[in-house]
Structure 1
Amino acid sequence: MTSRPPVDIARILLIIVILSLLIFGSLYIVRPFLPALLWATMIVVATWPLMIGIERRVGGRRSIAVAAMVMGMLVVIVLPLSAAVATIAERGGDVIALAQRLPDYTLPPPPRWLHDVPLAGGRLAREWQRLSDAGPGGILARVQPYAMIGTQWLLARAGAAGALLIHLLLTVVIAGILYSRGELALSMVARFAARLAGDRGAAAVRLTGLSIRAVALGIVVTSAVQAALGGLGLYVTGVPGAAFLTALILILCLAQIGSAIPLFGAAVWLFRRGDEVAAIELAVWTLLIIGLDKVLRPLLIKRGVDLPILLILTGVLGGLVAFGIVGLFIGPVILAVTFTLMQAWIAQEVPPEPAEPGVTSDVK
């Protein structure tokens, strides 16, 4: 009978401490770059098939494909987000002044067409009439606990336009590096996952990529489409400040709040001004945009993995509070990846325990 070799507990603990210090130190050093790295990784994973398609069309020249993708990121992501945040920050004083004028604002009686809105017309008309009967200050009594707090919070977030621009530019640089060395990065991640969990680790990497692609397409593309259509409706109907409202729609759609509040508010303003036709057109256009959101977002998300909308909403709002505007993208990706990996782990069959010698399962 051979004796078990002695276990050097002190050596094992020392190795664990050293590895923990190395990991913590590395994360602390790269901490300023983590948001940009996560954002760039999400963008590259989501748009990698597009980059490969461009590379094929230009004769396999990766540098041209990378340059095209970087320019596309600048035009599609950096410029619109920077313009949206800068516009909100620039018009912040007007928003606060509008919120402060609520005590003197009296809501007119509800329009007749509101009663004819399917399903919710009667309830909307009663709520409108209740606020109108309250007279001056009636609206303030309802929204005062939320209006100023929400407005100031939104402006404080949007006021960090300089920091956001730096993050966006850094994201573009990192994304360009990942585009040019994507296969190498994927190979390193796959080998690391396989070293940790074998075939399960490789499957986890594939699930992570599908989750990132699904969430990125479902949130970003849908929000951009809603903002573009909403801005078009505001511009055509002649609503002043259409650029500011479009930027606000983009931020609200990314936060999964939706475009209904600014668009219906603009329709009410048009009605009060006496332009009933434009108000009805904008209201109908808003309903179409809301309906498109209900169809397009689940369709894009389900192209990757089947994720609950509640999970995405939680990730967006939690990421916004935790990381700021960049968290709009990071939060849902983290939760989606965690949810997908947990589902895969739960779905795995547990191997049966071996039976003891001499024990049979037959009952006679």
Structure 2
Amino acid sequence: MEPNRDTELKVQYGASSGPWAGRLVVALLLGGLLLLTYQVVQDFLVPLLWAFILAYVTWPLNCRLRRMVSRPGLASFLMTLLLAVLIIVPVLLVIASLQQEARDLFQWIEDTLSGEADRLPTWLLSLPLVGRPIADLAEQVAQNPKIVDEWLTTQAPNIAGGAAEAAGAVGRNAMKFGMALLAVFFIYRDGEVVMAQFRQGLQILLGRQSDVYWIAAAEMTRAVVYGLVLTAIAQGAMAGLGYWIVGMEAPVLIGVLTALAALVPFGAPVVWGTVVLYLLFDAQLWAGLGLLAWGALGVSSVDNVVRPLVISVSAHIPFLLVLFGVLGGLSAFGLVGLFLGPVVLSVLLAVWRRWLGRRGTPREGPETSTEGAASNQ
């Protein structure tokens, strides 16, 4: 009888070489495929992350809308449109406010340099080191207004380059925002299927403990959203109180604008900082300095301390870990790091606790066995 062909191969190459070689080939192919996939989508990773975050946060509202609208595609489109409006309108309000304040500032500078204004504010001239040079410069410009034109001519290339760079950044961000909205639409429509497949894949890779990590990431994302909204409301209320104390017109409206801007990291200082500049250039020195101190010490403390504290309480995560996650995430990943940083550290904490739980099980084993044996006797 001739020996079996499989037996000859096992003798010639070894019984285990075939399976290991096959696994190595599959691993290399899978690694190459993942690398190519990353190179394809790397420019869209941030919009995709934002899409998943926004879809997760607004998913309950999407479910309600789908119960009201029978067509899933139409419900997803309406939900995406509503989300776009909720994001775009506050941004446009902030931009409009900044444009108006910039026009007022430039008009004041133009009137001052042309001699139409009575004089420079006293507080500006009394500043140490810079007050006297500012007064001399204003006097030179008043005597020879062409100095400003000559300076603008020499700085025109730099100004044009900066404007072009800013326009390019706006265009890139607008494109990323459009890609995020497009991804949100498909997540709204097919999110249940995608999430089921994703969780199934995690269970295949990590086993049952993947549910623990998934829950940790979901709870942290929800906590970050709660912290973001609550701290924005608190910042708007505190800033509105400051506007009312210094006598600003429409303090409630400006406070609401500050709250909307506070949804973006460092957005609130842009609003109350603009008001501070307005007060200073309007010769209201003490009001401007008071609002500056209130904004820096009071309003900003809400963003830097209260937000991590709210997230820590909501997600049952140590405060210091959340603080490092928020600040480190912003530094490493930009705006999306506000969510990504705490989520990464919360999953790491879940892995650590899971590992400690497993390490503790063997130490309890002998005691449990002894107790069981005693009970059987």
Larger deviation, residues 202-211 vs 186-195 = 202-211
- Give runs of aligned pairs for residues 296-335 of structure 1, distance below 5 A: 298-299=309-310, 302-306=313-317, 308=319, 309-319=322-332, 322=333, 327-328=334-335, 330-335=336-341
Q: Which amino acid aligns with 2:189?
A: S
Looking at secondary structure, tell me which structure has more helix per residue: 2
The 8 Å contact of residues 76 and 188 in structure 2, kept in 1 or not, is answered as yes
Determine if contact 1:226/1:250 at 8 Å carries over to the other structure.
no
Among 184, 188, 203, the residue aligned to 1:194? 203
Pair 1:337–1:347, CA change in 2 (3 A): same
Alignment partners' CA distance in 2, 1:32 and 1:73: 23
Residue 222 of structure 1 contacts residue 297 of structure 1 at CA under 8 Å; is this kept in 2? no
State whether structure 2 residue 143 is matched by structure 1 residue 136. no
Task: Give distance in 2, aligned partners of 1:155 and 1:253.
Answer: 27
Deviation of the 1:181 alpha carbon: 1.7
* Distance change in 2, residues 1:107/1:295 (3 Å): farther
Specify the code of the residue in structure 1 equivalent to 2:194. A
Matched residue pairs, number? 305
Structure 1 CA distance for aligned equivalents of residues 325 and 223 of structure 2: 11
CA contact (8 A) 2:52 2:187 kept: yes
Deviation of 1:180 after TM superposition, in Å, equals 1.6
- 1:336 matched residue in structure 2: 342
Structure-to-structure mapping, 1:70-219, within 5 angstroms: 70-81=80-91, 84=94, 108=123, 134-136=128-130, 160-219=169-228
The within-5 A match list for 1:192-341 is 192-219=201-228, 222-223=231-232, 226=235, 237-238=248-249, 254-255=264-265, 257=266, 259-260=268-269, 263=272, 266-267=275-276, 269-270=278-279, 273-274=282-283, 286=295, 289-290=299-300, 293=303, 295=306, 298-299=309-310, 302-306=313-317, 308=319, 309-319=322-332, 322=333, 327-328=334-335, 330-341=336-347
Counterpart AA for 1:334:
L
Matches of 1:288 and 1:339, distance apart in 2? 28
Please identify the structure whose Cα radius of gyration is greater: 2
CA shift at 1:5, angstroms?
3.3
Change (3 A) 1:343 1:219: same
Structure 1 segments unaligned to the other structure (5+ residues)? 99-104, 110-130, 141-151
Deviation of the 1:238 alpha carbon: 4.9
Corresponding residue of 2:27: 16
Selected match of 2:351 from 329, 335, 345: 345
- Is the Cα–Cα contact under 8 Å of residues 329 and 342 in structure 2 kept in the other structure? no
Q: TM-score, normalised by structure 2?
A: 0.60
Rounded Cα–Cα distance in structure 2 between residues aligned with 1:162 and 1:90: 22
- The 1:38–1:190 alpha-carbon spacing in structure 2 relative to 1, beyond 3 Å, is same
SS in 1 for 2:362: coil
Distance (Å, rounded) in 2 between the aligned partners of 1:307 and 1:154: 44
* Separation in structure 2 between the aligned mates of residue 54 and residue 81 of structure 1, nearest angstrom: 25
What residue number does 1:46 align with? 57
291-300 vs 178-187, greater mean Cα deviation: 291-300
Specify whether residues 47 and 237 from structure 1 end up closer, same or farther in structure 2 by C-alpha distance, changes over 3 A only: same
| Counterpart residue identity of residue 341, structure 1 | V
Q: 1:88 to 1:160 in 2, by over 3 A?
A: farther
Give the distance between the partners of 1:23 and 1:220, measured in 2 at CA.
36
Shift of 1:55: 4.0
Q: Could you tell me the TM-score, scaled by structure 1's length?
A: 0.62
| Contact 2:52/2:184 (8 A) holds in 1 | yes
Give 2:115's aligned residue.
none
Q: 1:22 to 1:283 in 2, by over 3 A?
A: closer
Counterpart residue identity of residue 136, structure 1: V
Is the alpha carbon distance of 1:297 and 1:12 closer, same or farther for their aligned partners in structure 2, counting shifts above 3 Å? closer
Unmatched segments (≥5 aa) in structure 2:
1-10, 109-119, 135-160, 371-377
- CA deviation vs aligned residue, 1:94-149 (integer Å, no higher than 9, x gap): 999x9xxxxxx99839xxxxxxxxxxxxxxxxxxxxx9662426999xxxxxxxxx
Give CA-to-partner distance per residue, 1:193-219, whole Å, 9 cap, x none.
111111111221222222222223423
8 Å Cα contact 1:211-1:304 kept in structure 2: yes
Is the CA contact (8 Å cut-off) linking 2:231 and 2:306 kept in structure 1? no
Aligned-partner Cα distance in 2 for 1:262–1:182: 37
Work out whether residues 237 and 282 of structure 1, in 8 Å CA contact, stay in contact via their aligned partners in 2: no
Distance 1:60 1:90 in 2: 45
RMSD, matched Cα: 5.2
* SS across alignment from 1:237: coil
2:142 is aligned to none
| 2:43 partner amino acid | P
Q: Which amino acid aligns with 2:324?
A: L
Which residue does the alignment assign to 1:28?
39
